[in-house]
Amino acid sequence: MTERIYLDNAATTALDPQVLDAMMPYLTTNYGNPSSIYSYGRESRLAVENARKTVAKILNAHPAEIFFTSGGTESSNTAITASIRDLGCKHIITSQIEHHATLHTVQFLQQTGAKVSYVRILPTGHIDMQHLEELLSESGEKTLVTLMHANNEIGNMIDLHETGNLCRKYNAIFHSDTVQTVGHFPFDLRNTPVDFITGAGHKFHGPKGVGILYINENVKIKPYVHGGSQERNMRAGTENLYGIVGFAKALQLATDNYETDSNYIKGLKLYMMEQLQKDLPGITFNGDPTGRSLYTVLSVNFPKTDKSEMILFNMDINNICVSGGSACSSGIEGSHVISAISSDPDAVTVRFSFSKYNTKDEIDTVIKKLKGMI
* DSSP result, 113-128: T-EEEE--B-TTS-B-
- Dihedral pair phi/psi, residue 58, rounded to 5°: -65, -40
C-alpha 173/C-alpha 79 separation (Å) is 10
Measure CA 115 to chain center: 25
C-alpha 322/C-alpha 305 separation (Å) is 19
- Dihedral pair phi/psi, residue 300, rounded to 5°: -120, 135
Q: Which of 89, 167, 321, 328 is catalytic?
A: 328
Kind and range of the H or E run holding 302: strand 297-302
Active site residue 89: no
**Which residues lie below 8 Å from residue 262, measured CB to CB, with a gap of 6+?**
184, 185, 295
Identify any residues that bridge with 182 across adjacent strands, giving them in sequence order.
185
B/e letters for 55-69, b = 16+ CB within 10 Å, e = fewer, are bbbbbebbeebbbbb
Active site residues: 328
